[in-house]
């Protein structure tokens, strides 16, 4: 009887792990664009996939790698500067699971704007776990006040997987 209960619980957990990727194309690692043509200034308007309120990336999308290997757990680059309207695409390279999270107490002035640009949150200001190499999570920095915002990977915080995003 207990074996069947364990098997049923395992099946429920496994089925919860699948499902919609919120518009992400994990096969190619691309994020769908709203308009395939470039806008004036050379950027393309790209939605932060699944973002509540439709937070848009109207500027540059920057790449940050999430890595765990024999050198440790880290974001590359850990410290990055973006402009209002830019986005950051965090891609798992190795050592997952990884995510991107902000401490609400340290980003109080930007809480609402950050939440609007973070789709599929697991908790307040905490992005979803990305398990496999090539999976990514994109955050839009539209209407985020200028300032410095520390962030981390929740599972690897104790191993020093931290960084700072500076919004100009």
Q: Is 93 exposed, middle or buried (0-12, 13-18, 19+ CB in 10 A)?
A: middle
Asked whether the predicted pLDDT for residue 7 surpasses 80, the reply is no
The answer to whether residue 100 sits within a structural domain is yes
The answer to whether residue 72 sits within a structural domain is yes
Asked whether the predicted pLDDT for residue 77 surpasses 60, the reply is yes
Spatial separation of the C-alpha atoms in residues 158 and 43, rounded to whole Å: 37
Which of residues 83 and 50 earns the better pLDDT score? 83
pLDDT of residue 28: 34
Say which range, 22-36, 93-107, 154-168, has the weakest mean pLDDT.
22-36
The answer to whether residue 89 sits within a structural domain is yes
What's the total number of domains in the chain? 1
Q: In which band, very low, low, confident or very high, does the pLDDT at 84 lie, cut at 50, 70 and 90?
A: very high
The answer to whether residue 120 sits within a structural domain is yes
The answer to whether residue 26 sits within a structural domain is no
Asked whether the predicted pLDDT for residue 53 surpasses 50, the reply is no
- Give me the mean pLDDT over the 6-25 stretch: 42
Strand, helix or coil for residue 18: coil
**pLDDT per residue over 139-156, tens digit each?**
999 999 999 999 999 999
In sequence order, the β-bridge partners of residue 64 are: 90
| Structural domain boundaries enclosing 67 | 44-167
The answer to whether residue 27 sits within a structural domain is no
Please name which of 74, 131, 83, 123 lies closest in space to residue 102, comparing C-alpha atoms: 123
- C-alpha 26: how far from its chain's center? 14
**Prediction pTM value:** 0.71
Percent of the chain with pLDDT over 90: 67
Spatial separation of the C-alpha atoms in residues 100 and 104, rounded to whole Å: 13
Domain containing residue 69: CATH number: 2.60.40.420
The answer to whether residue 14 sits within a structural domain is no
The answer to whether residue 65 sits within a structural domain is yes
Asked whether the predicted pLDDT for residue 11 surpasses 50, the reply is no
- Give me the mean pLDDT over the 38-59 stretch: 53
Between strands 72-76 and 61-69, the pairing is antiparallel
Contact 66, 77 (CB under 8 A): no
């Amino acid at each position: 009887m207990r074996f069947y209960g364990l098997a049923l619980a395992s099946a429920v957990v496994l089925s919860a792990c699948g499902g919609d990727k919120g518009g992400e194309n994990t096969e190619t690692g691309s994020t769908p664009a709203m308009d395939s043509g470039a806008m004036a200034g050379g950027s393309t308007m790209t939605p932060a996939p699944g973002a509540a309120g439709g937070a848009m990336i109207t500027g540059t999308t920057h790449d940050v790698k999430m890595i765990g290997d024999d050198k440790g757990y880290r974001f590359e680059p850990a410290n990055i500067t973006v402009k209002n309207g830019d986005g950051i695409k965090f891609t798992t390279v190795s050592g997952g699971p990884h995510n991107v999270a902000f401490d609400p107490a340290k980003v109080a002035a930007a809480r609402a704007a950050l939440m609007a640009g973070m789709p599929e949150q697991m908790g307040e200001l905490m992005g979803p776990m990305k398990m496999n190499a090539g999976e990514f999570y994109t955050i839009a920095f539209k209407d985020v006040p200028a300032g410095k915002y520390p962030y981390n990977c929740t599972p690897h915080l104790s191993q020093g997987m931290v960084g700072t995003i500076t919004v100009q």
